């Protein structure tokens, strides 16, 4: 939200109340509280009839500072709020003098000028960011003077501006399909079902990080408006309605360290089960299907040598107008339990589509209405509308009994043989004339609703399937949603432009604390060309999770052409062979919060080209993937400093260069970083197997005398084998420890392998 009219004045009717000095402080071991008048106090009379702000500074962990500023303390609505990992505040290192107060946590310090209020965040002697002048302020947008002020109403906002340095670039803020670098954009944190081709987003996260190595979490579940180098081109501004602002500054100094500390605060991504990394196939949305269709798809994939791992039933497993009743449509699935057994006998897991909306024709509607399980209007009636299922109501997850009721309906499906749920929707949550069971502020619940929804389902899966096997396929999210993986990119079109925007949105989400990500291979709306489908398959099977899904047409490869079958087969089997490497990175993501799919700037912060790259990514710590986005098969990619080896051909490329090369449908730019060990598994027909048994150890461009290593995890998430290698002259000596076995060692041409 823009308040100003150019550099010096405010918009008509808008008034800015910014701190001018620190009048007094109250200091304890773990908190600094300051009275910061929005005027200079020169006489006793100055303290009468003016606007004061109060600021509190604490540290929930080393290198994280929390800044809370409020006008009317009695107006603060603390609930609902994000579920943060907040323990006792850290003891602060405080140096208070007449001119300034310095507050230190870990390697970061905040310097506040007391005479002419300003804030300066430091990392040692380096300035991270600053707030000066009118940056921090209470804003009134319909100001008529103090005597006529109605209090902190809908025309009151709190805002902060933090400085941006030369060449500083802003990333994150959730899944955003607009340009990857957020500088120059207005970003409103408000979940919406807007597809992948607009400014709207299913997954809005009020968190950003910059290439200066710090992050900012605005601790407000309601709408947060960001102006990133817009209102003031050297500032990132964030504002919220009301008279209270709460945010965290998170130090790095690297972007990975920022994400590590951010996910310490908001929760680490849960580790998905190994089977989830295999290929998923959907019925698609509005297509016609019955058990015969389903089995023809399953058998068709397996008969063609494509190792399908999970089958997904989309909306029409339930009868139309009855969503959601969680009852199989008996007209097309007369024997659902038998069908699920027949599918599972093929070695597949099963996912079904659900949402939290209960249509009026659903058998569950009267039960939910009678027991108060739905969101209500302020007059006590059930809140309903027709924007999806006619007359639908929305489950109120602030009601513990409603959560148990919802879980009980899903539990029947789990007992029947279903393994997981696609938790669709959760974005269109009303805010006007609305009453939640626990009295939550509807504006705060709009974005937070998806967290409660997915948490409810995930907790059931943990209870029934065990935490190690609990997985969702979720569309909407907010802060902390990474604890309930996996998330997919929503409704995209079926062309190269949508494929590109999907990757851009995914990388943005993965810069926002999320560890795993998927997208609709081939696109969702319409039907792609065979060319687009085959290129999207390459990209999709080199993503953390891989699902074929569409809207009005099927996504089985043979409906495109026979070559599409070959492409799906080859890349599904490649991913299965890569599972020791993939699962190692997945486990490390769950521990560190560093995503499996990493933007180039996150992995190569010092490279001056990487901040701009959004059409290629690192898949784990060693593989670089550059999907192809054109019908000419032209791969255009940048390789950072060092030696890079083509995974398919073994050809070595020099880094710090751009390349262009044509690729057929069985290849794309897939490169291995120097000094890497890639461990390939012994199985290519499923993603879940003994990763440590009879592995192939591939060693890429090892430097002389440098020891390199790789761990191999078992499917229980524990290290089973460690492989180490060191090059001396033309010999690469490899040794391994643990319960695993090595079948083959591959080294670059001109070198010899020796197993020690």
Q: Encoding tokens for residue 456? A: 């409810």
Distance of alpha carbon 176 from alpha carbon 13, whole angstroms: 32
Distance of alpha carbon 627 from alpha carbon 608, whole angstroms: 21
Q: How many whole angstroms from its chain centre is CA 326?
A: 28
DSSP secondary structure letter of residue 383: P
Using DSSP's 3-state secondary structure scheme, residue 641 falls into: coil
Q: How many whole angstroms from its chain centre is CA 526?
A: 26
Neighbours of 63 (CB within 10 A): 22
Cβ 182 vs Cβ 228: under 8 Å: yes
Distance of alpha carbon 464 from alpha carbon 453, whole angstroms: 17
List 119's β-bridge partners, or say none. Answer: 112, 131
Distance of alpha carbon 667 from alpha carbon 571, whole angstroms: 9
Distance of alpha carbon 712 from alpha carbon 721, whole angstroms: 5
Q: How many whole angstroms from its chain centre is CA 522?
A: 21
Using DSSP's 3-state secondary structure scheme, residue 313 falls into: strand
Distance of alpha carbon 311 from alpha carbon 319, whole angstroms: 19
Q: What would the 3-class secondary structure string for 668-692 be?
A: CCEEEECCEEEEECCCCCCCCCCCC
Q: Which residues contact 576 (CB under 8 A, 6 or more apart)?
A: 278, 307, 681, 683, 684, 685, 686, 687
Q: For residue 29, how many C-alpha atoms fall within 13 Å in the half-sphere facing its CB?
A: 4
Cβ 695 vs Cβ 743: under 8 Å: yes
**Which of the residues are catalytic?**
424, 427, 491
For 593, left (φ over 0), alpha (ψ -120 to 50), or beta? left
The sheet carrying 185-189 orders its strands as 15-17, 137-140, 156-163, 235-241, 224-228, 185-189
- Phi then psi for residue 203, to 5 deg, are -130, 95
Distance of alpha carbon 545 from alpha carbon 276, whole angstroms: 7
Sign of CA dihedral 600, 602, 606, 611: positive
Closest CA to 556 of 286, 311, 275: 311
Helix pair angle (530-540, 562-577), 10° resolution: 10
Distance of alpha carbon 172 from alpha carbon 754, whole angstroms: 45
Distance of alpha carbon 107 from alpha carbon 258, whole angstroms: 13
Cβ 519 vs Cβ 501: under 8 Å: no
Distance of alpha carbon 12 from alpha carbon 21, whole angstroms: 26
List 646's β-bridge partners, or say none. Answer: 671
Please measure the distance between the N-terminal and C-terminal CA atoms of the chain and give it in whole angstroms. Answer: 63
Using DSSP's 3-state secondary structure scheme, residue 455 falls into: helix
Cβ 350 vs Cβ 344: under 8 Å: yes
Cβ 363 vs Cβ 327: under 8 Å: yes
Cβ 139 vs Cβ 156: under 8 Å: yes
Distance of alpha carbon 465 from alpha carbon 637, whole angstroms: 42
Sign of CA dihedral 278, 281, 282, 284: positive
Distance of alpha carbon 217 from alpha carbon 232, whole angstroms: 20
Distance of alpha carbon 441 from alpha carbon 533, whole angstroms: 44
């Amino acid at each position: 939200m823009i308040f100003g009219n150019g550099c010096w004045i405010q918009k008509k009717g808008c008034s800015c109340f910014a701190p001018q000095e620190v009048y007094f402080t109250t200091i304890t071991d773990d908190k600094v509280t300051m009275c910061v008048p929005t005027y200079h106090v020169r006489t006793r009379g100055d303290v009468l009839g003016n606007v004061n702000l109060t600021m509190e500074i604490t540290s929930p962990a080393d290198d994280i500072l929390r800044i809370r500023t409020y006008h009317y303390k009695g107006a603060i609505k603390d609930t609902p709020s994000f579920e943060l990992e907040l323990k006792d505040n850290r003891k602060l290192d405080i140096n208070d003098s007449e001119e300034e107060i310095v507050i230190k946590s870990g390697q970061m310090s905040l310097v506040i000028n007391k005479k002419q209020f300003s804030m300066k965040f430091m990392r040692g002697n380096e300035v991270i960011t600053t707030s000066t002048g009118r940056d921090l302020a209470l804003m009134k947008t319909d100001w008529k003077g103090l005597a006529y002020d109605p209090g902190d109403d809908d025309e009151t906002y709190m805002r902060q501006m933090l400085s941006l340095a030369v060449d500083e670039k802003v990333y994150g803020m959730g899944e955003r399909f607009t340009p990857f670098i957020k500088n120059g954009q207005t970003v409103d944190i408000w979940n919406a079902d807007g597809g992948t081709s607009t400014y709207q987003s299913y997954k809005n996260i009020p968190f950003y990080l910059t290439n200066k190595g710090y992050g900012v979490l605005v601790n407000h579940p309601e709408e947060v408006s960001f102006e990133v180098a817009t209102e003031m081109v050297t500032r990132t501004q964030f504002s919220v309605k009301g008279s209270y602002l709460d945010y965290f500054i998170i130090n790095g100094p690297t972007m990975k360290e920022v994400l590590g500390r951010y996910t310490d605060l908001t929760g680490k991504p849960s580790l998905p089960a190994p089977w989830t990394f295999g290929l998923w196939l959907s019925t698609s949305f509005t297509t016609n299907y019955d058990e015969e269709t389903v089995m023809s798809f399953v058998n068709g994939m397996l008969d063609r040598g494509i190792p399908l791992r999970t089958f997904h039933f989309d909306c029409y497993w339930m009868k139309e107008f009855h969503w959601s009743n969680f009852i199989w449509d008996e007209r097309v699935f007369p024997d659902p339990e038998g069908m699920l057994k027949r599918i599972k006998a093929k070695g597949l897991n099963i996912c079904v589509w659900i949402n939290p909306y209960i249509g009026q024709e659903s058998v569950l509607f009267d039960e939910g209405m009678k027991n108060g399980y739905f969101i209500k209007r302020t007059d006590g009636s059930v809140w309903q509308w027709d924007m999806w299922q006619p007359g639908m109501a929305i489950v109120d997850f602030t009601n513990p009994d409603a959560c148990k009721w919802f879980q009980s309906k899903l539990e029947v499906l789990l007992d029947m043989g279903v393994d997981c749920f696609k938790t669709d929707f959760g974005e269109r949550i009303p805010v006007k004339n609305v009453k939640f069971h626990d009295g939550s502020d509807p504006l705060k619940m709009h974005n937070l609703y998806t967290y409660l929804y997915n948490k409810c389902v995930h907790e059931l899966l943990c209870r029934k399937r065990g935490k190690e096997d609990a997985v969702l396929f979720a569309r909407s999210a907010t802060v902390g949603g990474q604890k309930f993986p996996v998330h997919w990119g929503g409704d995209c079109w079926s062309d190269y432009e949508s494929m590109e925007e999907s990757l851009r949105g995914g990388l943005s989400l993965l810069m926002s604390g999320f560890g795993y990500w998927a997208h609709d291979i081939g696109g969702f709306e319409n039907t792609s060309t065979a060319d687009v489908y085959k290129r999207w398959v390459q990209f999709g099977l080199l993503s953390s999770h891989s699902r074929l899904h569409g809207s009005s047409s099927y996504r089985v490869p043979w409906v495109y052409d026979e070559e599409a079958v070959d492409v799906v087969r080859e890349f599904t089997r490649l991913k299965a062979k890569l599972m020791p490497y993939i699962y190692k990175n997945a486990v490390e993501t769950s521990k560190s919060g560093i995503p499996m799919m990493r933007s180039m700037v996150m992995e190569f912060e010092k490279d001056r080209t990487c901040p701009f790259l959004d059409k290629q990514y690192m898949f784990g710590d060693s593989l670089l993937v550059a999907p192809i986005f054109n019908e000419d098969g032209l791969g255009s990619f940048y390789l950072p400093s060092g030696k890079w080896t083509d995974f398919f051909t073994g050809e070595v490329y020099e880094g710090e260069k751009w390349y262009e090369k044509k690729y057929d449908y069985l290849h794309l730019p897939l490169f291995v970083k120097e000094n890497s060990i890639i461990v390939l598994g012994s199985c290519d027909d499923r993603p879940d197997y003994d990763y440590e048994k009879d592995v192939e150890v591939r060693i890429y461009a090892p430097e002389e005398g440098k020891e390199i290593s790789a761990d191999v995890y078992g499917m229980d998430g524990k290290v089973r084998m460690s492989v180490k290698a060191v090059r001396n002259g033309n010999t690469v000596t490899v040794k391994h420890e643990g319960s695993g076995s090595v079948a083959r060692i591959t080294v670059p041409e001109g070198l010899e392998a020796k197993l020690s």
